[in-house]
Structure 1
Amino acid sequence: MFQRPLLLLIYTLVIIVISSLITTTYFHYFVLNQGSEQQALIAISDDEVNNSPIKDDNTIVEIFSYGCHYCAINEENIDKLEARMPAGTKLIRLHLNNTQSNGLASFAPLFATLTVMGIEPQYRESAYNAVIKEKIDLSNPQNRDSWLAENGIDLAAYNAASQTPQVAELLSYMTTVSDHYKINATPTFIINKKWLALQDRDFPEFADHLLSLLQHDKPLEQ
């Protein structure tokens, strides 16, 4: 009598366990190994620090992309990091950008426009899902407009905002920051203008590492 529900329950639990193992393996193999293939921490020269385009001091700047799976799975961890940051410091999220706005940078105009509209954080997860899970190219105007409509974002307001000097300035700023620090992987973290960090350990240890760089100007040993 109870055999079928029991088998179903066991099957469901097995699927959950397998999915968790796959996610963990994927994260360790692809995300953490990303840091081992490149230098995981770079100290920026004094000249480059002095000429940094970053406007704010005492900051951790995350360079991310809506097309970056690693960025998407770390959203909750980054929120927790931000909550731990001491008074007088702040976390800034900037979308990767380049002069061609191609590759992972192709979604920068969407980020910039939503940011100027003041609504980017509440639609970030939906943008990640559309690009990464649903394979929708949000750099394509037709796809973008459909996504805007599905999310209840006024198309006329979006189009008006996209043409403002504020959006152009933000896009230019993100390009300048990305170029100055030669960002070629996301997520990349710029700490106090002087450190460039790729994730080389799990959260929350990686958050501890970033906060040590921010507060004490030195990395944590692994």
Structure 2
Amino acid sequence: MFKKNLFLVAYTFVVIIISSLITTAYFHYFVLNQNSDQQSLMAIGNSDIKNSPIKDENAIVEIFSYGCHFCVLNEENVINLEARMPAGSKFIRLHINNNQMDGLASFSPLFATLTVMGIEPQHRQSAYNAVIKDKIDLSNSLNLDGWLKANGIDPEAYAKARQSPQVQALLDYMTQVSKHYNINATPTFIVNKKWLALQDRDFPEFADQLLSLLQHDKPLE
């Protein structure tokens, strides 16, 4: 019995190590290599800063999607970044959006509605899992209804909130921000309206980069 238990513990430990290595390799191969062909940090021109639709000052805005593999991989890292934000600053999540609400923007109504209902953070991981892991299209009303019920969300309350002016205003706002900054990949971070940053290094070093842009208006050396 002791040998059997020891084997199970050792097996579990090996599985954890292998899973961690796979996740790390996935990030380095897909995320960092993806960004290697793009400009990972771009300074926004004064005119675009002045005309930015972003309402909040002294803020880091993450543009993400429930359909973004890289976003879910970095969820814990982003939460840690949020905890490091200096006093008087804000960390804001916005779902990528466009007028057609297609592609990665397909799930923007879900984000906007849950946000207006005040329950988005506690259901974020479930939305990620449904879209990415379980391949459920939550932009489909039948699939969405089943997901809402499974997560203890009243479909009627959701439908009422979805039609509210507050949700439409948030959808419009996310579209304006995504369009103004020409966001076509997630996650993208907008710092103080004036820096557009794609992840080019591991966390927490990438968090250090974002905080340097926020606090000192310059990238790390």
TM-score range, shorter chain: over 0.9
Cα deviation digits, residues 74-124 of structure 1 (max 9, x gap): 111111111111111100100000010001100000000111111111110
Give the 5 Å matches for 1:64-213.
64-213=64-213
Aligned partner of 1:56 in structure 2 is 56
What's the TM-score, normalizing by structure 1?
0.95
Cα distance between partner residues in 2 of 1:8 and 1:96: 43
User: How far off is 1:16 after superposition?
Assistant: 2.5
Aligned partner of 2:23 in structure 1 is 23
Cα deviation digits, residues 131-171 of structure 1 (max 9, x gap): 01111000000000100000000111100000011111110
User: How far off is 1:28 after superposition?
Assistant: 0.9
Partner SS, residue 110 of structure 1: helix
Count residues in correspondence: 221
Cα distance between partner residues in 1 of 2:105 and 2:169: 16
Q: What percentage of residue pairs aligned between the two structures are identical?
A: 74
Partner SS, residue 139 of structure 2: coil
Classify 1:200/1:146 alpha carbon distance in 2 versus 1 (closer, same or farther; 3 Å). Answer: same
Partner SS, residue 220 of structure 1: coil
Cα distance between partner residues in 2 of 1:5 and 1:213: 51
What's the TM-score, normalizing by structure 2?
0.96
One-letter identity of the residue aligned with 1:147 = W
Cα distance between partner residues in 2 of 1:7 and 1:78: 36
Aligned-CA RMSD value: 1.3
Cα distance between partner residues in 2 of 1:12 and 1:118: 38
Aligned partner of 2:215 in structure 1 is 215
Partner SS, residue 105 of structure 1: helix
Cα deviation digits, residues 53-83 of structure 1 (max 9, x gap): 0011100000000001111121111111111
Point out where structure 2 has 5 or more consecutive residues left out of the alignment.
Answer: none
Cα distance between partner residues in 2 of 1:91 and 1:79: 10
Partner SS, residue 48 of structure 1: helix
Cα distance between partner residues in 2 of 1:5 and 1:178: 53
User: How far off is 1:35 after superposition?
Assistant: 2.0
Point out where structure 1 has 5 or more consecutive residues left out of the alignment.
Answer: none
